[in-house]
Amino acid sequence: MRAAIKEYNYDWLMGSTLSAAAKFPAGTAKEIAWAYRYIPYFKGIVKNFVDAGPPGIYFMDLLAGYYQNILDAHAQGKKIAATTFCSSPVIFYAMDIVPLTFEVLTAIGAMVWKRGMFDYMDYCCEVGMPETACSSQRGALGAYLADMGENIDIVLCDTPGVCDTNANAFVFAAEYLDKPFFQLNYPSTLGDSRSQAYHVKDFQAMIRFLEEQTGKKIDYDRLAENLKEVEAQDAITADLEDMLMMVPTPIPPIYTLMIYAGRFCFAGHPGYTRLLELLRDEAQKRMAAGVPALKAGAENLRVLMCYIDHYTVDINFYNYLEERGIANAGSILTRNFRDYNPYCQALEGSCYGVDLSSPEAMLDTVAQMNARLPMVRSIRGPYDQHGMWLDECLALARLYSVDCIIYNGTPGCRNTWGMVKPFARDIEKQGIPVHIMNDDAFDDRVESWEATRERLDEFFTVRGLL
Ligand code: SF4
Protein backbone atom coordinates (compact mmCIF):
# COMPACT_ATOMS: atom_id res chain seq x y z
CA MET A 1 0.00 0.00 0.00
CA ARG A 2 1.43 3.36 -0.99
CA ALA A 3 2.23 5.63 1.96
CA ALA A 4 0.24 8.52 0.43
CA ILE A 5 -2.91 6.41 0.35
CA LYS A 6 -2.47 5.40 3.97
CA GLU A 7 -2.61 9.07 4.98
CA TYR A 8 -6.38 9.21 4.58
CA ASN A 9 -9.22 7.57 6.47
CA TYR A 10 -10.97 5.67 3.70
CA ASP A 11 -14.55 6.23 4.89
CA TRP A 12 -13.94 9.93 5.38
CA LEU A 13 -12.22 10.21 2.00
CA MET A 14 -15.06 8.59 0.08
CA GLY A 15 -17.87 10.15 2.11
CA SER A 16 -16.42 13.66 1.78
CA THR A 17 -15.92 13.25 -1.96
CA LEU A 18 -19.54 12.23 -2.47
CA SER A 19 -21.01 14.81 -0.14
CA ALA A 20 -18.99 17.61 -1.84
CA ALA A 21 -20.19 16.33 -5.23
CA ALA A 22 -23.81 16.35 -4.08
CA LYS A 23 -23.50 20.06 -3.17
CA PHE A 24 -22.45 21.03 -6.70
CA PRO A 25 -25.93 21.64 -8.10
CA ALA A 26 -26.66 24.21 -5.37
CA GLY A 27 -24.80 26.75 -7.53
CA THR A 28 -26.03 28.58 -10.61
CA ALA A 29 -25.40 27.03 -14.04
CA LYS A 30 -22.43 29.38 -14.50
CA GLU A 31 -21.00 28.54 -11.08
CA ILE A 32 -21.35 24.82 -11.76
CA ALA A 33 -19.60 25.14 -15.13
CA TRP A 34 -16.73 27.03 -13.47
CA ALA A 35 -16.55 24.64 -10.55
CA TYR A 36 -15.98 21.71 -12.93
CA ARG A 37 -12.70 23.36 -13.96
CA TYR A 38 -11.41 22.92 -10.44
CA ILE A 39 -12.19 19.20 -10.23
CA PRO A 40 -10.70 17.71 -13.41
CA TYR A 41 -10.18 14.37 -11.65
CA PHE A 42 -13.80 14.00 -10.57
CA LYS A 43 -15.53 15.99 -13.29
CA GLY A 44 -16.63 12.91 -15.24
CA ILE A 45 -18.44 11.15 -12.42
CA VAL A 46 -19.93 14.30 -10.85
CA LYS A 47 -21.19 15.62 -14.19
CA ASN A 48 -22.79 12.28 -15.03
CA PHE A 49 -24.84 12.25 -11.85
CA VAL A 50 -25.64 15.97 -11.97
CA ASP A 51 -26.82 15.51 -15.57
CA ALA A 52 -29.03 12.63 -14.39
CA GLY A 53 -31.11 15.33 -12.66
CA PRO A 54 -32.72 15.21 -9.19
CA PRO A 55 -32.35 11.42 -8.74
CA GLY A 56 -28.65 11.51 -9.67
CA ILE A 57 -27.93 14.37 -7.26
CA TYR A 58 -29.95 12.74 -4.49
CA PHE A 59 -28.18 9.41 -5.10
CA MET A 60 -24.76 11.00 -4.44
CA ASP A 61 -26.13 12.49 -1.23
CA LEU A 62 -27.61 9.14 -0.17
CA LEU A 63 -24.31 7.34 -0.69
CA ALA A 64 -22.47 10.09 1.18
CA GLY A 65 -24.94 9.40 4.01
CA TYR A 66 -23.97 5.72 3.96
CA TYR A 67 -20.35 6.66 4.69
CA GLN A 68 -21.44 9.25 7.26
CA ASN A 69 -23.39 6.56 9.11
CA ILE A 70 -20.22 4.48 9.26
CA LEU A 71 -18.16 7.46 10.45
CA ASP A 72 -20.71 8.42 13.13
CA ALA A 73 -21.53 4.90 14.34
CA HIS A 74 -19.24 4.62 17.34
CA ALA A 75 -19.89 8.14 18.59
CA GLN A 76 -23.60 7.24 18.57
CA GLY A 77 -23.00 3.99 20.46
CA LYS A 78 -23.75 1.79 17.43
CA LYS A 79 -21.85 -1.24 16.18
CA ILE A 80 -20.60 -1.57 12.61
CA ALA A 81 -21.31 -4.91 10.93
CA ALA A 82 -19.50 -5.96 7.76
CA THR A 83 -22.10 -7.69 5.62
CA THR A 84 -22.66 -8.87 2.05
CA PHE A 85 -24.80 -7.13 -0.56
CA CYS A 86 -26.95 -10.27 -0.54
CA SER A 87 -28.38 -9.33 2.83
CA SER A 88 -31.14 -6.78 3.20
CA PRO A 89 -30.07 -4.05 5.66
CA VAL A 90 -33.65 -3.87 6.97
CA ILE A 91 -32.82 -6.13 9.91
CA PHE A 92 -29.71 -4.11 10.86
CA TYR A 93 -31.57 -0.82 10.86
CA ALA A 94 -34.12 -2.40 13.21
CA MET A 95 -31.26 -3.37 15.54
CA ASP A 96 -29.45 -0.01 15.41
CA ILE A 97 -26.51 -1.66 13.69
CA VAL A 98 -24.68 0.16 10.90
CA PRO A 99 -24.19 -2.12 7.87
CA LEU A 100 -20.98 -1.88 5.88
CA THR A 101 -21.17 -3.74 2.58
CA PHE A 102 -17.80 -4.39 0.93
CA GLU A 103 -19.22 -5.03 -2.56
CA VAL A 104 -21.15 -1.75 -2.77
CA LEU A 105 -18.23 0.26 -1.39
CA THR A 106 -15.87 -1.33 -3.91
CA ALA A 107 -18.20 -0.46 -6.80
CA ILE A 108 -18.48 3.16 -5.62
CA GLY A 109 -14.69 3.50 -5.38
CA ALA A 110 -14.20 1.97 -8.84
CA MET A 111 -16.65 4.46 -10.39
CA VAL A 112 -15.34 7.51 -8.52
CA TRP A 113 -11.53 7.11 -8.43
CA LYS A 114 -9.43 7.18 -11.59
CA ARG A 115 -6.81 5.21 -9.65
CA GLY A 116 -9.53 2.64 -8.99
CA MET A 117 -9.57 0.43 -5.93
CA PHE A 118 -6.28 -1.13 -7.06
CA ASP A 119 -4.18 -0.29 -4.01
CA TYR A 120 -6.83 -1.62 -1.64
CA MET A 121 -7.34 -4.77 -3.74
CA ASP A 122 -3.63 -5.47 -3.82
CA TYR A 123 -3.32 -4.92 -0.09
CA CYS A 124 -5.68 -7.85 0.52
CA CYS A 125 -3.27 -10.05 -1.42
CA GLU A 126 -0.27 -8.60 0.43
CA VAL A 127 -1.75 -9.82 3.70
CA GLY A 128 -2.74 -13.27 2.45
CA MET A 129 -5.91 -13.29 0.38
CA PRO A 130 -5.58 -15.07 -2.97
CA GLU A 131 -5.52 -12.96 -6.11
CA THR A 132 -8.34 -15.10 -7.45
CA ALA A 133 -10.69 -13.91 -4.68
CA CYS A 134 -13.60 -11.86 -5.99
CA SER A 135 -12.55 -8.25 -6.54
CA SER A 136 -15.90 -6.99 -5.24
CA GLN A 137 -14.89 -7.74 -1.65
CA ARG A 138 -11.14 -7.35 -2.17
CA GLY A 139 -11.51 -3.63 -2.97
CA ALA A 140 -13.04 -1.95 0.05
CA LEU A 141 -11.97 -4.75 2.39
CA GLY A 142 -8.32 -3.78 1.75
CA ALA A 143 -8.89 -0.41 3.40
CA TYR A 144 -10.24 -2.04 6.57
CA LEU A 145 -7.49 -4.68 6.66
CA ALA A 146 -4.97 -1.83 6.40
CA ASP A 147 -6.65 -0.10 9.36
CA MET A 148 -7.57 2.88 7.22
CA GLY A 149 -11.31 2.86 7.84
CA GLU A 150 -13.59 2.79 10.85
CA ASN A 151 -13.20 -0.17 13.17
CA ILE A 152 -15.53 -3.00 12.08
CA ASP A 153 -17.12 -4.61 15.17
CA ILE A 154 -18.85 -7.69 13.77
CA VAL A 155 -18.43 -9.75 10.60
CA LEU A 156 -21.55 -11.39 9.17
CA CYS A 157 -21.35 -13.68 6.21
CA ASP A 158 -25.01 -13.64 5.41
CA THR A 159 -26.61 -15.62 2.62
CA PRO A 160 -23.90 -15.36 -0.01
CA GLY A 161 -25.42 -18.34 -1.76
CA VAL A 162 -22.89 -20.82 -3.02
CA CYS A 163 -20.16 -18.22 -3.36
CA ASP A 164 -17.04 -19.69 -1.81
CA THR A 165 -14.93 -16.65 -2.57
CA ASN A 166 -17.42 -14.37 -0.81
CA ALA A 167 -17.61 -16.67 2.23
CA ASN A 168 -13.81 -16.95 2.39
CA ALA A 169 -13.39 -13.17 2.19
CA PHE A 170 -15.63 -12.70 5.21
CA VAL A 171 -13.94 -15.49 7.18
CA PHE A 172 -10.57 -13.96 6.30
CA ALA A 173 -11.76 -10.51 7.44
CA ALA A 174 -13.00 -11.89 10.76
CA GLU A 175 -9.80 -13.84 11.40
CA TYR A 176 -7.45 -11.06 10.32
CA LEU A 177 -9.28 -8.34 12.22
CA ASP A 178 -10.00 -10.71 15.11
CA LYS A 179 -13.74 -9.95 15.17
CA PRO A 180 -16.80 -11.99 16.17
CA PHE A 181 -18.15 -13.86 13.16
CA PHE A 182 -21.51 -15.32 12.22
CA GLN A 183 -22.27 -17.39 9.14
CA LEU A 184 -25.86 -17.33 7.99
CA ASN A 185 -26.60 -20.26 5.72
CA TYR A 186 -28.60 -20.02 2.55
CA PRO A 187 -31.75 -22.04 1.82
CA SER A 188 -30.98 -24.92 -0.54
CA THR A 189 -34.40 -24.57 -2.16
CA LEU A 190 -36.83 -21.67 -2.42
CA GLY A 191 -40.53 -21.76 -1.73
CA ASP A 192 -40.70 -25.01 0.27
CA SER A 193 -41.65 -24.96 3.92
CA ARG A 194 -38.89 -27.25 5.26
CA SER A 195 -36.06 -25.18 3.89
CA GLN A 196 -37.83 -21.94 4.85
CA ALA A 197 -38.33 -23.14 8.43
CA TYR A 198 -34.62 -23.93 8.66
CA HIS A 199 -33.75 -20.54 7.23
CA VAL A 200 -35.94 -18.69 9.75
CA LYS A 201 -34.26 -20.59 12.63
CA ASP A 202 -30.91 -19.54 11.22
CA PHE A 203 -32.11 -15.92 11.22
CA GLN A 204 -33.21 -16.27 14.85
CA ALA A 205 -29.72 -17.54 15.70
CA MET A 206 -28.19 -14.55 13.89
CA ILE A 207 -30.42 -12.16 15.84
CA ARG A 208 -29.38 -13.80 19.14
CA PHE A 209 -25.75 -13.41 18.10
CA LEU A 210 -26.30 -9.73 17.21
CA GLU A 211 -28.18 -9.11 20.48
CA GLU A 212 -25.24 -10.56 22.42
CA GLN A 213 -22.76 -8.44 20.49
CA THR A 214 -24.69 -5.19 20.79
CA GLY A 215 -26.27 -5.73 24.20
CA LYS A 216 -29.61 -4.60 22.68
CA LYS A 217 -32.75 -6.55 21.84
CA ILE A 218 -34.24 -6.38 18.39
CA ASP A 219 -37.09 -3.86 18.23
CA TYR A 220 -39.94 -5.58 16.37
CA ASP A 221 -41.99 -2.36 16.20
CA ARG A 222 -39.11 -0.77 14.40
CA LEU A 223 -38.74 -3.78 12.12
CA ALA A 224 -42.46 -3.44 11.29
CA GLU A 225 -41.94 0.23 10.41
CA ASN A 226 -38.99 -0.66 8.20
CA LEU A 227 -40.96 -3.39 6.46
CA LYS A 228 -43.83 -0.97 5.83
CA GLU A 229 -41.26 1.23 4.13
CA VAL A 230 -40.17 -1.83 2.11
CA GLU A 231 -43.82 -2.20 1.02
CA ALA A 232 -43.80 1.36 -0.30
CA GLN A 233 -40.42 0.81 -1.99
CA ASP A 234 -41.56 -2.42 -3.64
CA ALA A 235 -44.65 -0.68 -5.05
CA ILE A 236 -42.58 2.10 -6.64
CA THR A 237 -40.07 -0.42 -7.94
CA ALA A 238 -42.96 -2.25 -9.62
CA ASP A 239 -43.93 1.03 -11.36
CA LEU A 240 -40.37 1.42 -12.57
CA GLU A 241 -40.35 -2.20 -13.77
CA ASP A 242 -43.51 -1.51 -15.78
CA MET A 243 -41.86 1.50 -17.40
CA LEU A 244 -38.78 -0.61 -18.19
CA MET A 245 -41.03 -2.91 -20.20
CA MET A 246 -42.17 -0.08 -22.47
CA VAL A 247 -40.50 0.21 -25.87
CA PRO A 248 -38.97 2.79 -25.95
CA THR A 249 -38.49 2.94 -22.19
CA PRO A 250 -38.41 6.26 -20.32
CA ILE A 251 -35.82 4.72 -17.95
CA PRO A 252 -32.17 5.68 -18.70
CA PRO A 253 -29.49 2.96 -18.21
CA ILE A 254 -28.07 4.50 -15.02
CA TYR A 255 -31.44 4.22 -13.20
CA THR A 256 -31.05 0.47 -12.83
CA LEU A 257 -27.80 0.98 -10.89
CA MET A 258 -29.52 3.47 -8.59
CA ILE A 259 -32.42 1.08 -8.02
CA TYR A 260 -30.25 -1.78 -6.76
CA ALA A 261 -27.44 0.14 -5.06
CA GLY A 262 -30.07 2.09 -3.13
CA ARG A 263 -31.79 -1.15 -2.12
CA PHE A 264 -28.55 -2.82 -1.01
CA CYS A 265 -27.65 0.17 1.18
CA PHE A 266 -31.02 1.48 2.37
CA ALA A 267 -33.86 -1.04 1.99
CA GLY A 268 -36.52 -0.16 4.58
CA HIS A 269 -35.06 3.33 5.07
CA PRO A 270 -37.07 6.43 4.00
CA GLY A 271 -34.04 7.72 2.08
CA TYR A 272 -34.40 4.91 -0.44
CA THR A 273 -38.12 5.58 -0.81
CA ARG A 274 -37.28 9.18 -1.71
CA LEU A 275 -34.76 8.03 -4.31
CA LEU A 276 -37.32 5.72 -5.92
CA GLU A 277 -39.93 8.49 -5.96
CA LEU A 278 -37.50 10.77 -7.76
CA LEU A 279 -36.65 8.06 -10.30
CA ARG A 280 -40.33 7.34 -10.93
CA ASP A 281 -41.33 11.02 -11.17
CA GLU A 282 -38.56 11.87 -13.63
CA ALA A 283 -39.39 8.83 -15.78
CA GLN A 284 -43.10 9.72 -15.75
CA LYS A 285 -42.34 13.30 -16.77
CA ARG A 286 -40.22 12.01 -19.64
CA MET A 287 -42.98 9.62 -20.65
CA ALA A 288 -45.63 12.37 -20.61
CA ALA A 289 -43.45 14.74 -22.64
CA GLY A 290 -42.44 12.02 -25.10
CA VAL A 291 -38.76 12.70 -24.38
CA PRO A 292 -36.47 9.69 -25.03
CA ALA A 293 -34.56 8.24 -22.09
CA LEU A 294 -31.38 7.74 -24.07
CA LYS A 295 -28.96 10.53 -24.98
CA ALA A 296 -28.76 9.05 -28.49
CA GLY A 297 -32.32 10.29 -28.96
CA ALA A 298 -33.66 6.88 -30.02
CA GLU A 299 -33.83 3.37 -28.64
CA ASN A 300 -31.96 1.16 -31.12
CA LEU A 301 -31.58 -1.96 -29.02
CA ARG A 302 -32.46 -3.49 -25.65
CA VAL A 303 -30.05 -5.53 -23.54
CA LEU A 304 -30.44 -7.63 -20.42
CA MET A 305 -27.36 -7.86 -18.22
CA CYS A 306 -27.60 -11.46 -17.03
CA TYR A 307 -25.23 -10.91 -14.13
CA ILE A 308 -23.71 -7.66 -12.87
CA ASP A 309 -22.87 -4.36 -14.57
CA HIS A 310 -19.47 -2.79 -15.30
CA TYR A 311 -18.37 -0.35 -12.61
CA THR A 312 -15.59 1.39 -14.48
CA VAL A 313 -14.55 4.94 -13.69
CA ASP A 314 -16.96 7.77 -14.61
CA ILE A 315 -19.75 5.19 -15.21
CA ASN A 316 -18.40 4.76 -18.74
CA PHE A 317 -20.42 1.62 -19.32
CA TYR A 318 -23.79 3.33 -18.77
CA ASN A 319 -22.69 6.25 -20.95
CA TYR A 320 -21.70 3.80 -23.67
CA LEU A 321 -25.23 2.38 -23.66
CA GLU A 322 -26.69 5.90 -23.76
CA GLU A 323 -24.57 6.97 -26.70
CA ARG A 324 -25.32 3.86 -28.77
CA GLY A 325 -29.04 4.10 -28.04
CA ILE A 326 -29.09 0.85 -26.05
CA ALA A 327 -31.79 0.52 -23.39
CA ASN A 328 -30.72 -1.35 -20.27
CA ALA A 329 -33.43 -3.75 -19.06
CA GLY A 330 -31.41 -4.26 -15.89
CA SER A 331 -29.34 -7.07 -14.39
CA ILE A 332 -30.00 -9.83 -11.86
CA LEU A 333 -29.33 -7.18 -9.23
CA THR A 334 -32.09 -4.84 -10.40
CA ARG A 335 -35.21 -6.87 -9.70
CA ASN A 336 -36.51 -7.31 -6.15
CA PHE A 337 -38.65 -10.39 -6.90
CA ARG A 338 -41.67 -9.10 -5.02
CA ASP A 339 -44.60 -11.41 -5.68
CA TYR A 340 -46.80 -9.00 -7.70
CA ASN A 341 -44.25 -8.27 -10.42
CA PRO A 342 -45.24 -9.68 -13.83
CA TYR A 343 -42.08 -11.81 -14.11
CA CYS A 344 -43.08 -13.77 -10.98
CA GLN A 345 -45.84 -15.50 -12.92
CA ALA A 346 -43.23 -17.18 -15.11
CA LEU A 347 -40.97 -18.00 -12.15
CA GLU A 348 -43.11 -19.78 -9.63
CA GLY A 349 -41.57 -19.93 -6.13
CA SER A 350 -38.97 -17.29 -6.94
CA CYS A 351 -40.79 -14.34 -5.30
CA TYR A 352 -41.58 -13.17 -1.78
CA GLY A 353 -44.43 -11.40 0.02
CA VAL A 354 -44.51 -9.19 3.12
CA ASP A 355 -46.36 -10.26 6.30
CA LEU A 356 -46.32 -7.95 9.33
CA SER A 357 -48.81 -9.88 11.46
CA SER A 358 -46.33 -11.13 14.12
CA PRO A 359 -42.60 -11.08 14.94
CA GLU A 360 -42.31 -14.59 13.49
CA ALA A 361 -44.09 -13.53 10.30
CA MET A 362 -41.78 -10.53 9.96
CA LEU A 363 -38.68 -12.70 10.38
CA ASP A 364 -40.10 -15.09 7.82
CA THR A 365 -40.56 -12.09 5.49
CA VAL A 366 -36.96 -10.96 5.94
CA ALA A 367 -35.69 -14.51 5.42
CA GLN A 368 -37.78 -14.84 2.25
CA MET A 369 -36.63 -11.44 1.04
CA ASN A 370 -32.95 -12.27 1.58
CA ALA A 371 -33.38 -15.58 -0.22
CA ARG A 372 -34.50 -13.61 -3.29
CA LEU A 373 -31.28 -11.63 -3.45
CA PRO A 374 -29.27 -12.49 -6.56
CA MET A 375 -26.55 -14.87 -5.42
CA VAL A 376 -29.04 -16.97 -3.48
CA ARG A 377 -31.99 -16.78 -5.86
CA SER A 378 -30.44 -17.40 -9.23
CA ILE A 379 -26.94 -18.83 -8.88
CA ARG A 380 -27.62 -21.10 -5.92
CA GLY A 381 -26.95 -24.32 -7.78
CA PRO A 382 -27.23 -25.88 -11.27
CA TYR A 383 -27.89 -23.09 -13.76
CA ASP A 384 -30.60 -24.96 -15.66
CA GLN A 385 -32.88 -25.98 -12.77
CA HIS A 386 -36.32 -24.42 -12.30
CA GLY A 387 -36.14 -20.76 -11.29
CA MET A 388 -32.37 -20.62 -11.59
CA TRP A 389 -30.11 -18.49 -13.78
CA LEU A 390 -31.22 -19.78 -17.19
CA ASP A 391 -34.93 -19.93 -16.39
CA GLU A 392 -34.84 -16.45 -14.90
CA CYS A 393 -32.90 -14.86 -17.76
CA LEU A 394 -35.10 -16.39 -20.44
CA ALA A 395 -38.27 -15.26 -18.65
CA LEU A 396 -36.91 -11.73 -18.23
CA ALA A 397 -35.55 -11.56 -21.79
CA ARG A 398 -39.02 -12.37 -23.15
CA LEU A 399 -40.89 -10.06 -20.82
CA TYR A 400 -38.60 -7.08 -21.41
CA SER A 401 -38.35 -7.79 -25.17
CA VAL A 402 -34.56 -7.67 -25.20
CA ASP A 403 -32.48 -8.18 -28.34
CA CYS A 404 -29.50 -9.73 -26.63
CA ILE A 405 -28.05 -10.78 -23.28
CA ILE A 406 -24.67 -9.69 -21.92
CA TYR A 407 -22.67 -11.40 -19.21
CA ASN A 408 -20.26 -9.39 -17.09
CA GLY A 409 -18.64 -10.56 -13.87
CA THR A 410 -15.30 -10.87 -12.16
CA PRO A 411 -12.52 -13.39 -12.95
CA GLY A 412 -12.84 -14.62 -9.34
CA CYS A 413 -16.46 -15.61 -9.87
CA ARG A 414 -16.22 -19.39 -10.19
CA ASN A 415 -19.98 -19.66 -9.67
CA THR A 416 -20.78 -17.98 -12.93
CA TRP A 417 -17.63 -18.66 -14.99
CA GLY A 418 -18.07 -22.36 -14.25
CA MET A 419 -21.40 -22.43 -16.10
CA VAL A 420 -21.48 -19.35 -18.32
CA LYS A 421 -20.57 -21.15 -21.56
CA PRO A 422 -23.32 -23.84 -21.49
CA PHE A 423 -25.66 -21.15 -20.14
CA ALA A 424 -24.85 -18.90 -23.12
CA ARG A 425 -25.24 -21.81 -25.57
CA ASP A 426 -28.68 -22.64 -24.16
CA ILE A 427 -29.78 -19.01 -24.53
CA GLU A 428 -28.42 -18.81 -28.08
CA LYS A 429 -30.49 -21.91 -28.91
CA GLN A 430 -33.54 -19.79 -28.08
CA GLY A 431 -32.46 -17.26 -30.71
CA ILE A 432 -31.07 -14.64 -28.34
CA PRO A 433 -27.46 -13.51 -29.00
CA VAL A 434 -25.17 -13.57 -25.94
CA HIS A 435 -21.94 -11.68 -25.35
CA ILE A 436 -19.52 -12.73 -22.60
CA MET A 437 -17.42 -9.80 -21.42
CA ASN A 438 -13.84 -10.66 -20.43
CA ASP A 439 -13.11 -7.81 -18.03
CA ASP A 440 -13.36 -7.48 -14.27
CA ALA A 441 -16.41 -5.44 -13.29
CA PHE A 442 -14.42 -3.72 -10.53
CA ASP A 443 -10.82 -3.78 -11.77
CA ASP A 444 -9.94 -2.05 -15.05
CA ARG A 445 -6.42 -3.55 -15.00
CA VAL A 446 -7.82 -6.92 -16.11
CA GLU A 447 -9.10 -5.43 -19.38
CA SER A 448 -9.06 -1.72 -20.12
CA TRP A 449 -12.38 0.01 -20.65
CA GLU A 450 -11.24 0.84 -24.21
CA ALA A 451 -10.72 -2.87 -25.00
CA THR A 452 -14.04 -3.79 -23.36
CA ARG A 453 -15.81 -1.14 -25.42
CA GLU A 454 -14.20 -2.41 -28.62
CA ARG A 455 -15.36 -5.99 -27.91
CA LEU A 456 -18.89 -4.74 -27.22
CA ASP A 457 -18.89 -2.84 -30.53
CA GLU A 458 -17.59 -5.93 -32.31
CA PHE A 459 -20.37 -8.07 -30.83
CA PHE A 460 -23.12 -5.63 -31.80
CA THR A 461 -21.71 -5.26 -35.31
CA VAL A 462 -20.91 -8.92 -36.05
CA ARG A 463 -24.30 -10.09 -34.77
CA GLY A 464 -26.03 -7.44 -36.86
CA LEU A 465 -27.60 -5.79 -33.83
CA LEU A 466 -26.38 -2.23 -34.42
S1 SF4 B 1 -19.48 -11.77 -8.22
FE2 SF4 B 1 -19.31 -14.02 -8.08
S3 SF4 B 1 -17.47 -14.32 -6.81
FE4 SF4 B 1 -18.14 -12.20 -6.52
S5 SF4 B 1 -19.48 -12.25 -4.72
FE6 SF4 B 1 -20.82 -12.50 -6.52
S7 SF4 B 1 -20.99 -14.73 -6.81
FE8 SF4 B 1 -19.28 -14.36 -5.47
Say yes or no to pLDDT of 263 above 70: yes
Asked if residue 159 has its Cβ within 6 Å of ligand 1, the reply is no
Distance 268 CA to ligand 1 centre (A): 24
- pLDDT at residue 186 in the model: 83
Q: What type of residue sits at position 442?
A: F
Q: Average pLDDT, whole number, for the chain? A: 95
| Pocket probe mutation, ligand 1, options 308, 416, 417, 440, max atoms within 8 Å of Cβ | 416
Segment 293-337, tens digit of pLDDT: 999 999 999 999 999 999 999 999 999 999 999 999 999 999 999
CA angle 256, 337, 169 (to 5 degrees): 75
Phi, psi of 274 (to 5 degrees): -60, -45
- pLDDT at residue 52 in the model: 95
Segment 173-220, tens digit of pLDDT: 999 999 999 999 888 888 788 988 998 999 999 999 999 999 999 999
Say yes or no to pLDDT of 391 above 70: yes
Distance 107 CA to ligand 1 centre (A): 13
- Binned at pLDDT 50, 70 and 90, residue 160 comes out as low
| Cα distance between residue 222 and residue 437, in whole Å | 43
- pLDDT at residue 423 in the model: 98
Which residue's C-alpha comes closest to atom 4 of ligand 1?
A: 134
| Pocket probe mutation, ligand 1, options 378, 410, 437, max atoms within 8 Å of Cβ | 410
Segment 117-136, tens digit of pLDDT: 999 999 999 999 999 999 99
DSSP bridge pairs for 83: 101
- pLDDT at residue 159 in the model: 67
| Cα distance between residue 458 and residue 14, in whole Å | 36
pLDDT above 70 coverage of the chain, percent: 99
Distance 409 CA to ligand 1 centre (A): 8
Distance 134 CA to ligand 1 centre (A): 6
pTM of structure: 0.97
| Pocket probe mutation, ligand 1, options 131, 165, 333, 379, max atoms within 8 Å of Cβ | 165
| Cα distance between residue 373 and residue 383, in whole Å | 16
Segment 336-365, tens digit of pLDDT: 999 999 999 999 889 999 999 999 999 999
- pLDDT at residue 274 in the model: 98
How would you write the chain as a 3-class SS string? Answer: CCHHHHCCCHHHHHHHHHHHHHHHHHCCHHHHHHHHHCCCCCHHHHHHHHHCCHHHHHHHHHHHHHHHHHHHCHHHCCEEEEECCCCCCHHHHHCCEEEEEHHHHHHHHHHHCCCCCHHHHHHHHHCCCCCCCCHHHHHHHHHHHCCCCCCCCEEEEECCCCCHHHHHHHHHHHHHHCCCEEEECCCCCCCCHHHHHHHHHHHHHHHHHHHHHHCCCCCHHHHHHHHHHHHHHHHHHHHHHHHHHCCCCCCCHHHHHHHHHHHHHHCCCHHHHHHHHHHHHHHHHHHHHCCCCCCCCCCCEEEEECCCCCCCHHHHHHHHHHHHCEEECCCCCCCCCECCCHHHHHCCCCCECCCCCCHHHHHHHHHHHHHCCHHHHCCCCCCCCCCCHHHHHHHHHHHCCCCEEEECCCCCCHHHHCCHHHHHHHHHHCCCCEEECCCECCECCCCCHHHHHHHHHHHHHHCCCC
C-alpha closest to that of 456 among 254, 309, 260: 309
Say yes or no to pLDDT of 153 above 90: yes
| Cα distance between residue 336 and residue 333, in whole Å | 8
Say yes or no to pLDDT of 269 above 90: yes
Segment 77-121, tens digit of pLDDT: 999 999 999 899 999 999 999 999 999 999 999 999 999 999 999
Q: Which atom of ligand 1 sits closest to the CA of residue 375?
A: 7
CB-facing half-sphere around the CA of 49: CA atoms within 13 A: 29
